[in-house]
């Protein structure tokens, strides 16, 4: 689904003028969907508040990104799309695009060029992984642990397989209530070479192998669904170690001074960005496109990195990222892409999960219920 040339030109002109006057072809309110917590607050600070100030648009937030695929399927079936722009991981964007639930985007016509005139497609480069996906950030899922709960005489955890070592590192763990990442880590810690993980996971035997490894710690796991859960569980001392997004841990450690350490080993790199649902009215679609044009330009993505330790998806944004907006600290050492943190990363295969997610999800949820 594309904007008419008239509405597209109107969108571009509105943004070029700073969006100070809401165009008559655009809706005056919109619902954005994200993940809550420190990440959503970075979005509010970096572009939602400035966008509302420029345009007068009222923005309502929904924190349902973790259930975006299921909810958009249900909305589409009911013929009632209540969301305007949805923040999703790349694999979910591919699924939604394949199912016709997200609109295709022409990056060079519908997204802002870099300040030097470089096209959006060149500025985003390889991060434009799908026809419907508008990248925002590079982030990682990694582990935080309570520094004051490390057993005496033992090194702090620094290997992904320490998560599975209940003898050396006793205590509860927190893991996301989905197969993604957990299955990969389980195979790595059951002797599968990094390069072979997805080949193994594509088989029934490999899936059973991963679940069997997870079985060894299942009774010591609290399962989380929201990105804010693990930082809170760590802050409350309910878990010793838990997975979450690196930016959430940054907020807990640096901004809240919690006794939490970062374990970067086998951190899983991933992409996060926007999709626009299909089935919007022309006015809502125009507003959604106007917003993503603004929210994913070079300056706005750089601004977001001032509030949370996620790398901006545009090449042109990186030089504009410096210190934390309020703390005045250099953000580079806290980025998952910093060489000191990226010594042993695991590259998330979004194409694999776009193909296998529904089947492995069903198997994983059945395993959880056992």
Tens of pLDDT along 319-342? 888 899 888 998 878 888 777 888
Average pLDDT over residues 210-225: 98
pLDDT of 203 above 80 = yes
pLDDT of 255 above 80 = yes
| Residue 336 confidence (pLDDT) | 84
pLDDT of 262 above 50 = yes
Average pLDDT over residues 42-62: 97
pLDDT of 81 above 90 = yes
pLDDT of 61 above 50 = yes
- Please write the tens of the pLDDT for every residue from 36-47: 988 899 999 999
| Residue 30 confidence (pLDDT) | 97
Question: What is the C-alpha radius of gyration for the chain, rounded to an integer number of angstroms?
Answer: 21
- Using alpha carbons only, what angle is made at residue 141 by residues 138 and 145, rounded to the nearest 5 degrees? 135
Rounded alpha-carbon distances, angstroms, from residue 51 to 2, 12, 282, 304? 23, 14, 20, 13
H or E element, residue 224: strand 221-224
Average pLDDT over residues 18-33: 71
Q: What confidence tier does 243 reach under pLDDT thresholds 50, 70, 90? A: very high
Mean pLDDT, the chain, integer: 90
| Residue 24 confidence (pLDDT) | 60
| Residue 10 confidence (pLDDT) | 31
State residue 151 phi and psi, 5-degree precision: -60, 145
The neighbouring-strand residues paired with 173 are: 221, 241
Alpha-carbon gap, residue 220 to 16, rounded angstroms? 54
Average pLDDT over residues 198-211: 98
For the chain, the 3-state helix, strand and coil shares in percent, each to the nearest 5, are 45, 20, 35
pLDDT of 192 above 60 = yes
Closest-CA residue to 40 (of 267, 180, 226, 294): 226
| Residue 332 confidence (pLDDT) | 79
| Residue 17 confidence (pLDDT) | 34
Strand, helix or coil at 343?
A: coil
Closest-CA residue to 184 (of 173, 164, 200): 200
Average pLDDT over residues 71-82: 97
Residue 326 or residue 116, greater confidence: 116
Alpha-carbon gap, residue 322 to 256, rounded angstroms? 20
Average pLDDT over residues 145-165: 97
Average pLDDT over residues 137-148: 94
| Residue 23 confidence (pLDDT) | 52
Average pLDDT over residues 59-73: 96
Average pLDDT over residues 87-95: 92
């Amino acid at each position: 689904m594309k904007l008419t040339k008239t509405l597209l030109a109107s969108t571009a002109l509105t943004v070029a003028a700073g969006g100070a006057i809401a165009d008559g072809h655009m809706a005056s309110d919109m619902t954005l969907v994200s993940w809550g917590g420190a990440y959503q607050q970075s979005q509010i600070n970096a572009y939602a508040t400035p966008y509302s100030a420029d345009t007068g648009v009222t923005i309502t937030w929904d924190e349902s990104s973790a259930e975006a695929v299921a909810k958009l399927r249900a909305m589409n079936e009911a013929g009632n799309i209540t969301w305007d722009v949805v923040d999703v991981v790349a694999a979910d964007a591919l699924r939604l695009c394949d199912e016709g639930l997200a609109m295709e985007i022409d990056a060079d016509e519908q997204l802002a060029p870099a300040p030097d005139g470089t096209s959006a497609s060149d500025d985003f480069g390889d991060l434009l992984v799908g026809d419907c996906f508008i990248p925002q950030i590079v982030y990682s899922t990694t582990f935080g642990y309570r520094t004051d709960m490390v057993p005496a005489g033992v090194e702090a955890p620094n290997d992904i397989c320490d998560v599975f070592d209940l003898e050396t590192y006793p205590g509860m763990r927190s893991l996301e209530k989905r197969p993604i990442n957990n299955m990969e880590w389980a195979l790595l810690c059951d002797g599968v070479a990094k390069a072979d993980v997805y080949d193994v996971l594509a088989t029934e035997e490999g899936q059973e192998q991963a679940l069997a490894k997870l079985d060894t710690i299942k009774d010591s796991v609290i399962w989380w669904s929201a990105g804010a859960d693990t930082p809170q569980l760590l802050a409350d001392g309910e878990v010793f170690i838990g997975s979450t997004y690196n930016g959430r841990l940054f907020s807990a450690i640096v901004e809240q001074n919690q006794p939490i350490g970062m374990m970067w080993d086998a951190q899983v790199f991933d992409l996060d960005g926007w999709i626009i649902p299909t089935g919007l009215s022309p006015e809502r679609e125009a507003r959604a496109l106007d917003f993503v044009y603004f929210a994913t330009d070079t300056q706005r993505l750089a601004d977001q990195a001032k509030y949370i330790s996620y790398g901006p998806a545009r090449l042109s944004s990186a030089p504009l990222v410096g210190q934390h907006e309020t703390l005045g600290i250099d953000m580079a050492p806290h980025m998952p892409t910093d060489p000191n943190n990226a010594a042993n990363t695991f590259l998330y295969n979004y194409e694999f999960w776009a193909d296998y997610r529904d089947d492995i999800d069903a198997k994983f949820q059945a395993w959880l219920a056992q």
